[in-house]
Structure 1
Amino acid sequence: MADTYDLIVLGSGPGGYVAAIRATQLGLKTAIVERELLGGICLNWGCIPTKALLRSAEIYNYLQHAEAYGLSNDKPSFDLAKVVARSRAVSKQLNQGVAHLMKKNKITVVMGEGKLTGKGKLSVTVDGKATELQAKHIIIATGARARDLPFAKADGKRIWTYRHAMTPAEMPTELLVIGSGAIGIEFASFYADLGAKVTVVEMLDRIVPVEDSEVSAQLAKSLTKQGLVIHTSAGVESLKTDAKGVAATIKTSDGKSVEHRFSHAIVAVGIAPNTENIGLEPLAVKTTKGHIDTDPYGRTNVPGLWAIGDVTAPPWLAHKAMHEAVTTAEAIAQELGNKDVHPHAADPKNIPGCTYCRPQVASVGLTEAAAKEAGYQVKVGKFPAIGNGKAIALGEVDGFVKTVFDAKTGELLGAHMIGAEVTELIQGYTVGKTAELIDEDFVQTVFPHPTLSEMMHEAVLAADGRVLHI
């Protein structure tokens, strides 16, 4: 007889494990199924270990410029194996933390390959042996994986995905990064800081193309100043490996195709959802380009079947998955009769995005161009880091904060930042957008001095023609 639950969660990434925790808080008997490692890609091979790597690169960069701070540090060096080992140790700690949370919340963990076998039914296979599970509701949280180039499959030796790039057997000397989204740019920044000669190829007309165009331009300027070579409106036509490295034919914006040699290449051209072989087709689950279609609460077109995270629509971000997890768990509890929960779906325009390169990039809401395309009359404020005392004291003066407001109502439509620690600062604007604050609310808020957050205040003042420090 199948084990029976109120809820089964397939996948234990940020969306999956948070959904399981919230469900048990609401009194639901819950199981979670995971085929590899608790915490999923984010904790084990994504968000967290990459930040550990980037922190090492950041400190190494500071060591190389110690003299600018009145310090001395002759011939700084690094041990790549130890840098990677620290990153893996951070991941291991968090993986163990998720295991502890599952035990603390009395969530049944079933390790193995999960597959839907009917409405409310799931089969979990380990070493050829299947266990049958049954639930009133099932959440699909299987996430996504790196997308391969059709003409250049990653081999882990010369052609890498993000996963290979996190545990390199050797340090690249000349690195090609294909794609300039968050993953591509973060690895480009990491390896450049460690001394590799890095070339970035982006098919669109600017790097980090989802960001505001002024942020893209500033980042390109900063990275070029650091020694990176950036090709936009360009493409890689072929990629061939041999014992010595990679030969790439790059077609640049002028239409010319030239072969270049690199020691390694990272392919960062997007993701593919993990929707194959999990039993969606017999249930006729609706998808768009492989991603599962849902309503704002995570419902699919099949009653009792829900989906969250990267397996659904963009943005494909861990914090979006975690918010969806809570919303969906609460919606399920509500359907099961809990009248005390009131799930709130997130507005995609209120979900911040962060890129942890050097300098950092962060944003929330509409870009200036998107706001104008949507028909808004906008007022825009911009404040440079060079005008901020804390940024000058830190020696981090590349960057700015930009705000986009509705000129008629004062509604904050978007905020865009590039510079030191802006991935921490962006939450101030995110709270403001969620709370539906207007420009005057930000103006009347007291920002502590000296802090980088004062740039946020000044960028609002600038939108109203009241900027103080430039």
Structure 2
Amino acid sequence: MAASNFDLIVIGAGPGGYVAAIRGAQLGMKVAIVERENLGGICLNWGCIPTKAMLRSSEVFHLMHRAKEFGLKATGVDYDLDAVVKRSRGVAGQLSGGIGHLMKKNKVTVFMGDATLPAKGKVSVKADKGTEELTAKNIVVATGARARELPGLEADGDLVWTYRHALQPPRMPKKLLVIGSGAIGIEFASFYNTLGADTTVVEVMDRVLPVEDAEISAFAKKQFVKQGMKIMEKSMVKQLDRAKGKVTAHIETGGKVEKIDFDTVISAVGIVGNVEGLGLEELGVKIDRSHVVTDEYCRTGVDGLYAIGDIAGAPWLAHKASHEGVMVADLIAGKHAHPVKPESIAGCTYCHPQIASVGYTEAKAKELGYDIKVGRFPFIGNGKAIALGESEGMIKTVFDAKTGELLGAHMVGAEVTELIQGYIVGRQLETTEEDLMNTVFPHPTLSEMMHESVLDAYGRVIHM
């Protein structure tokens, strides 16, 4: 058995934990990682990756129905849900195996089991074969989060699903209710609606995708409705009456309660951090609403103990967790580390149409007291978008009128989850409107719209 003393122990092998372990190993540390379920965590096994694989299937299915528009013939277009799921699971499995390979390559010792922190600098791992006691000067907690369950709306895997059930559905829903219109809810609504489920989305806030810029939300909603979704905003599911093969949802809107029958419900009402049973509070770690309280360097206040990723609070995104993992490893190694700024982290939602954003919304920039300039450009004005048959969409940019700083960028339409990176790099390099205006964007590309949106903010737009 490997010696049980390490320089760094990471608890949780999701996109935060496994990246922290790799970076620690690169910096010459002796690293162990503890995982109770799957290498790659939720993101890779039950989240980001398998959902994208399923959404790709629905996107291709959608395009097959549009064959005629492109001068093509496709008859008898259909799908096989089991095969769609099988492909999705295969993609997740392939990548999870890849993480195992990376751990070996970087000489990270993997312990499969449940971790607890019995004392400072100690990790106890309970596995099938018994318990192993590990020690390290530095411990990173990266245990992630799970689906929030509301009383009375709990999942049962048959009529009421969480994201996990939705990824391995026992059947194809005919009449589907999705509770919550954040990224997870709207992606599943988009997938099942495209495959033909009669889909209703209920959102408690005043608009779908409530974290996005209001204009982008409104545009996306219009597209969802056009695709046949029913969207109920400022609404709340008060209770679910379960019977054989059907669920009656009591949905309250503006004080009135409506009862609607569905055969399937997907609950996507947020997440709670996996903070229980680790022994964190006994060590003196502060926990606020299921999340570990940390400083900007992910330090918990307990010497040598760090928390990264979903357990350390919003934004709950894999790429934020990975960057925090690298930052903490650098910090432990005595290198210069840069805190991760939440407003520099992009959010991407892979519904149809896609949505991507970084920085402040127009409303937030105004609320923070900025004098702003706003530019917009529609997909219909872009040659590549029209050639692709994807003319529905828009790009919106928000600038500080005084300094020309790019405060935020918000997009809805085809491939915007890839386009957003241009603005992220721009913000990282502290770009101004002048730099962006003088950048030559290749033609014909969707990225030209990014240029035009900037030009529009300053009254110089060409193709509109």
Pick the TM interval, shorter chain. over 0.9
- In the alignment, structure 1 residue 352 sits paired with structure 2 residue 346: yes
- In the alignment, structure 1 residue 466 sits paired with structure 2 residue 460: yes
Q: Quote the Cα distance in structure 2 between the aligned partners of 1:240 and 1:51.
A: 32
Q: Which consecutive residues of structure 1, in runs of 5 or more, have no partner in the other structure?
A: 335-340
Q: Quote the Cα distance in structure 1 between the aligned partners of 2:347 and 2:260.
A: 33
Match of 1:199 in 2: 200
- In the alignment, structure 1 residue 280 sits paired with structure 2 residue 280: yes
Match of 2:20 in 1: 19
Checking the alignment, whether the CA contact within 8 Å between 2:281 and 2:287 is kept in structure 1 is no
Checking the alignment, whether the CA contact within 8 Å between 1:154 and 1:161 is kept in structure 2 is yes
Q: Residue type matched to 2:82 in 1?
A: A
Q: Residue type matched to 1:333 in 2?
A: A
Match of 1:262 in 2: 262
Q: Quote the Cα distance in structure 2 between the aligned partners of 1:295 and 1:128.
A: 37
Q: Quote the Cα distance in structure 2 between the aligned partners of 1:398 and 1:231.
A: 22
Match of 2:291 in 1: 291
Q: Show the 5 A alignment for 1:382-393.
A: 382-393=376-387
Match of 2:436 in 1: 442
SS of 2:366's partner is: helix
Superposed CA offset, 1:201-258 (max 9, x none): 0000000000000000001000000000000000101112221121101112x43211
**How big is the alpha-carbon RMSD for the aligned residues of Structure 1 and Structure 2?**
0.9
Checking the alignment, whether the CA contact within 8 Å between 1:201 and 1:234 is kept in structure 2 is yes
Q: Quote the Cα distance in structure 2 between the aligned partners of 1:297 and 1:210.
A: 25
Q: Kindly tell me: are residues 128 and 272 of structure 1, through their superposed partners in 2, closer, same or farther at Cα, counting changes over 3 Å?
A: farther
Q: Quote the Cα distance in structure 1 between the aligned partners of 2:441 and 2:130.
A: 60
Checking the alignment, whether the CA contact within 8 Å between 1:2 and 1:132 is kept in structure 2 is no
Q: Kindly tell me: are residues 348 and 190 of structure 1, through their superposed partners in 2, closer, same or farther at Cα, counting changes over 3 Å?
A: same
Q: Kindly tell me: are residues 96 and 128 of structure 1, through their superposed partners in 2, closer, same or farther at Cα, counting changes over 3 Å?
A: closer
Q: Quote the Cα distance in structure 1 between the aligned partners of 2:373 and 2:125.
A: 55
SS of 1:138's partner is: strand
Identity of counterpart residues, as a percentage?
A: 61
Q: Quote the Cα distance in structure 2 between the aligned partners of 1:294 and 1:96.
A: 32
In structure 2, which of residues 363, 369, 378 is the aligned counterpart of residue 375 of structure 1? Answer: 369
SS of 2:117's partner is: strand
Checking the alignment, whether the CA contact within 8 Å between 1:8 and 1:30 is kept in structure 2 is yes
Match of 1:316 in 2: 316
Kindly state the Cα deviation for residue 331 of structure 1 after the two structures are TM-superposed: 0.4
Kindly state the Cα deviation for residue 130 of structure 1 after the two structures are TM-superposed: 1.1
Checking the alignment, whether the CA contact within 8 Å between 1:2 and 1:131 is kept in structure 2 is no
Checking the alignment, whether the CA contact within 8 Å between 1:398 and 1:419 is kept in structure 2 is yes
Match of 2:244 in 1: 243
Q: Residue type matched to 1:409 in 2?
A: T
Q: Quote the Cα distance in structure 1 between the aligned partners of 2:332 and 2:298.
A: 10
Match of 1:337 in 2: none
Q: Quote the Cα distance in structure 2 between the aligned partners of 1:145 and 1:313.
A: 13
Kindly state the Cα deviation for residue 128 of structure 1 after the two structures are TM-superposed: 7.1
Superposed CA offset, 1:339-382 (max 9, x none): xx321112111100000000000000000000000000000000
Match of 2:85 in 1: 84
- In the alignment, structure 1 residue 210 sits paired with structure 2 residue 222: no
| Runs of at least 4 residues off by over 3 Å | none
In structure 2, which of residues 420, 432, 440 is the aligned counterpart of residue 426 of structure 1? Answer: 420
Kindly state the Cα deviation for residue 75 of structure 1 after the two structures are TM-superposed: 2.0
Q: Quote the Cα distance in structure 2 between the aligned partners of 1:439 and 1:296.
A: 29
Q: What TM-score do the two structures reach when normalised by structure 1?
A: 0.98
Q: Quote the Cα distance in structure 1 between the aligned partners of 2:198 and 2:212.
A: 25
Q: Residue type matched to 1:150 in 2?
A: P
Q: Residue type matched to 1:44 in 2?
A: N
Checking the alignment, whether the CA contact within 8 Å between 2:375 and 2:456 is kept in structure 1 is yes
- In the alignment, structure 1 residue 306 sits paired with structure 2 residue 297: no
Q: Residue type matched to 2:81 in 1?
A: L
When structure 1 is superposed on structure 2, of 221-230 and 287-296 the one drifting more is 287-296
Kindly state the Cα deviation for residue 98 of structure 1 after the two structures are TM-superposed: 0.1
SS of 1:163's partner is: helix
Q: Quote the Cα distance in structure 2 between the aligned partners of 1:333 and 1:241.
A: 55
Match of 1:169 in 2: 170
SS of 1:238's partner is: strand
- In the alignment, structure 1 residue 125 sits paired with structure 2 residue 126: yes
Q: Residue type matched to 2:318 in 1?
A: A
Q: What TM-score do the two structures reach when normalised by structure 2?
A: 0.99
Q: Quote the Cα distance in structure 2 between the aligned partners of 1:400 and 1:142.
A: 37
In structure 2, which of residues 392, 395, 402 is the aligned counterpart of residue 401 of structure 1? Answer: 395
